[in-house]
Structure 1
Amino acid sequence: MASCGVLLYVLGVCVFAGKAHCFVELVCDNQSSGQFDHQSMLNCVIIPTQGTEDVNIQVVFWRNTKIKDPVLVFNSNEIKPKSGYKFAESSWNKTNMNVSLLITSTKVENEGEYTCYVITDSGEARSKTRLSVTAKYDEPKVTLIKKIDIPNADKALICTASGGYPLGQIRWFDNANTEWTKGAKLKVKKMDNGLLELSSKLPLWPASTFPEYTCVVYNSSGQKEHESVIKLDAPDDAKESPTQEYIYEVSDSKASANTSSIVAPILVIGSLIVGLLLALLIYRRRANQVRRPSATPFLDPHMKSPTEDPDV
C-alpha cells in the first residue's frame, strides 16, 4: 500500500510539474543487456539544464512494467529497494545525479521495460529503458536411439542443449559438412528458472546414413556456441548386404592382418596350379617318347639281309 501511495504522489507531482518550468532532464540508455546470474545495470543520469546548479533529488522511482510494485523507491531521504535491486553507486545520496539501477543477480523475469521517474527541486523528468537477458547454452549431448516411430527410419539422433536464453537453434551436419537440419524436428522446453532446453531429433534413413554427424548449437543472434560430434558404428547387417556400401575406419594393424589373410590363400592356390601344370607337361613328354617309330626296322632273324649275295 505504501508503494502505491508513493506512485500516486509521484504521478500527482509530475502532472503539476508538467505545467511548470522544468530545469532537469533524465537520460537513460535505450537498451541494456544482462547475463543470467550476473549483475546488470540500467544507466540513467539526471542532467541539469539552463545552467541549473545544486540540484537536490526528492524522489526516485524505478518500476518494471511487468511488475505491479516498484523495484526501488527513494523518498523522504529513505531508500526502499526490492530484493535484488539497488542504486548502482553504493554511496548514493540525493545530490548524486547518477540514478542508475543495479540488478544484483539477473534472472529471466528481470527482462523487460523499465521506467524511471525523478523529482527534484528544479523540476521532474522520466525516461524508459529496456533490459534483455541472455544465457549461454550448455554443451550439447547427442544420443543414438534405435526404436523410433518414424516410417522408413530405423534410427534417430537426439541432440539436447539446455540452460540457454533466449530461443536458439540446433543444426545438423554430416562428415562432409552437408546440412541435414530440414529433416530434424526441434522441441523447446521452458525450465523452472525460465531458461530453455532445446531438443532436436534427426531421423536416419538406411539409404542415406553417414558415419559421422555434428550437432551445432547457435544462440538467438545466430552465433555458434557449442558443437558435439557423434560417430556411428558400422551397421550389423553390413556383411549380409554386399551391394550396399559402408565406410569404416581401419587401423594399420587391422589393415596388415587383413592383407595377410588375403595373400596367404592366393599363394597356396597359385602353387597348386603351377604344380598341376608341371605334372601335365611331364606326362605329355613321356607319352610322345613311347609313340615315336625306331630308325632301324625290326627284322626276322631267319630272313636274309637284302645286301647279302644269294650265290655266295
Structure 2
Amino acid sequence: MAVQAVLLLILMSVSLGNTQTEMLKLECQTAVGVVGQTTKLCCSFKKNFKADQINITAGFVTKRGERDPLFWFKKGVANGDHRFKPPSLNDPSLLLTDTAVSDEGQYDYTVLTNRGITKEALRINVTAKYNPPSVSTWPEKIEEGSPAELNCIASGGYPAGTIQWFDSTNTNWTMNATLEITEREDQLLHLSSKLTFAKINSSWAPFKCVVLNSKFVKDGETTSHQSHTGDEDRSGDTGFIGGSVIAGLIVIGLIIVGLLLALLYRRRHVQRDFPGITRQAGADADADIDADEVGSLHAPVKHKGFYLHRFSHALSDGSVPVVAFKIPSSNLGLSGLYVSSPIHARESLNHLLCCLCCRSSAEAKWRC
C-alpha cells in the first residue's frame, strides 16, 4: 500500500510538470517535542500566484535513512504510524501524539494539492526533563578527615545533561567529580556523578547537587544531608557543658532559697522575742541613745549591740515620770526591768550595758 501511494504521487508529479511545482513551495519549521506530549509540526505554503484556496489531496512523510514512508494520507484517510494526524484542507501542518525519543530526526514531507506537488525537509527534536536528583554518601556516617564519596543520580531526561557540585560556600567542585551517562530501554538517559574526597572537611557541608539539561538550564537540585561523627562528638560536648551549667544554676538556686529561709527564720525569731517590733531603724550598732529617744513609747532600740524594749512609766505616787528598759532573756542570760529618769537615761543605759558586757550580776533595778 505504501509503495502504491508513493508511485501514485510520483506519477502525478511527472504529469503536472515542474512549472506548477515551482509556483507552490512548502515551508516547515523545526519542531521541538516533549516526551509523552503532543508535538505540532508547523508547515505552510508559499505561493507565487493568487488563489483563494489550496486543497490538499494527498501526502506522505518519510524519515531520512528509511525507504518506505512512515506515514501517508489520501483525501483525509491516514495510514502508517497512527500517532501522526493528517492536516486540514488548507493547513499542511501535522500533529504527532505521544512523542518519543525515537521520533527525533530528519524527515521529508511531500504534499499533493490542487495547485501542484511540493516537498520540504523538516526536523523533530525531542526533550525530556530529568527527575529530581537524589544524593547518597559513603560511608553513611562520614568521619572528619577521612575518605568519603558523594553520589548524585538523576534519570529520565533527554538529551544528555550534566551534574555540578557546590559546597556550603557555593564553591564549584565539579572538576573533582566523574560523570557517567547511560541509556535506558526507552532511550531516556540516566546521569550518575561521583564526588570523591581523600580527606573531607565537615565545614564544606552541606553539598548541593545541580542537574543541568543539554542547554545548561537547571532541571533540578538537591542538598546532601550527610552526618559527621565529629558533629556528634561536638554535640555531646555541648550537651555535657549545658548539663553542667544547669546543675550549677540549680545549686545556686538552692543556696539562695536556703539563705532566704534562714533570714525568714531569724526574722520570725526576733519578732517572737520582741512582739512590738514592726521595723528596724537601721541605725549604727554603736550609736548612742539621746534623752529624747528614750522618751518614745513602746519602740525597740538597738544600743551597743543589744536590743532593749523601752517604755515610759510613772512612780507609784504618780509624781515623777521614769523610763524603764526591759532586757529580754535572750541577752546573755540577763533579764529584768531597769528604770531611770528621762534625764539620766543615757548614763543609766550605759551602766546597764556595761553590766551586760561583763555578765555582771549587779542589781537588777535602780532608780533616781
1:114 pairs with 2:107: yes
Aligned to 2:25: 25
Q: In the aligned structure 2, how far is the partner of 1:248 from the partner of 1:41?
A: 60
**Paired residue secondary structure (1:115):** strand
Shift of 1:79: 2.8
Structure-1-length-normalised TM-score: 0.68
1:278 corresponds in structure 2 to none
Residue identity opposite 2:105 in structure 1:
G
Per-residue displacement from partner, 1:171-209 (whole Å, max 9, x unpaired)? Answer: 001111111111111111101111000000111221555
Contact 1:164–1:195 under 8 Å retained in 2: yes
Structure 1 equivalent of residue 167 of structure 2: 174
Contact 1:48 1:55 in 2 (8 A): no
Task: Please give the secondary structure, in 2, of the residue aligned with 1:212.
Answer: coil
Distance change in 2, residues 1:255/1:131 (3 Å) = same
Please tell me whether the aligned partners of residues 45 and 97 of structure 1 are also in contact (alpha carbons under 8 angstroms).
no
Contact 1:72 1:86 in 2 (8 A): no
Does residue 191 (structure 1) correspond to residue 184 (structure 2)? The answer is yes
Q: Which runs of 5+ in 1 are unaligned?
A: 239-245, 266-312
* Corresponding residue SS for 1:38: coil
The residue identity in structure 2 corresponding to 1:55 is I
> 1:186-265 counterparts in 2 under 5 A?
186-206=179-199, 208=201, 210-235=204-229, 238=230, 255=238, 257-261=240-244
Instruction: Report the Cα distance in structure 2 between the residues aligned to 1:247 and 1:171, rounded to whole angstroms.
Output: 29
User: How far off is 1:262 after superposition?
Assistant: 7.5
Q: Is the 8 A contact 1:39 1:103 kept in 2?
A: yes
8 Å contact kept, 1:136–1:219: yes
Structure 1 residues 82 and 111: alpha-carbon distance in aligned structure 2, compared to 1, 3 A threshold:
same
Q: How many residues align?
A: 243
1:1-312, aligned counterparts within 5 Å?
2-15=1-14, 17=16, 19-22=18-21, 23-29=23-29, 31-75=30-74, 78-87=77-86, 92=88, 96-146=89-139, 154-206=147-199, 208=201, 210-235=204-229, 238=230, 255=238, 257-261=240-244
Larger RCO: Structure 1 or Structure 2 (Cα < 8 Å, ≥ 6 residues apart)? 1
TM-score, structure 2 as length reference? 0.59
Same amino acid, percent of matched pairs: 29
Instruction: Measure how far apart 1:47 and its partner are.
Output: 4.2
* Stretch of structure 1 that moved more, 98-107 or 70-79: 70-79
Shift of 1:24: 2.1
Deviation, 1:66, is 4.7
The alpha-carbon distance between structure 1 residues 44 and 214, as it changes in their structure 2 partners (threshold 3 A), is same
Query: 1:176 is paired with a residue of what secondary structure?
Result: coil
1:125 deviates by 0.9
State the alpha-carbon separation in 2 of the partners of residues 263 and 97 from structure 1: 85
In structure 1, C-alpha distance between the alignment counterparts of 2:10 and 2:165, rounded to whole Å:
54
CA shift in 2, pair 1:48/1:155, >3 Å: same
Deviates most, 174-183 or 39-48: 39-48
| 8 Å contact kept, 1:188–1:196 | yes
- Give 1:63 shift: 2.1
Partner of 1:296: none
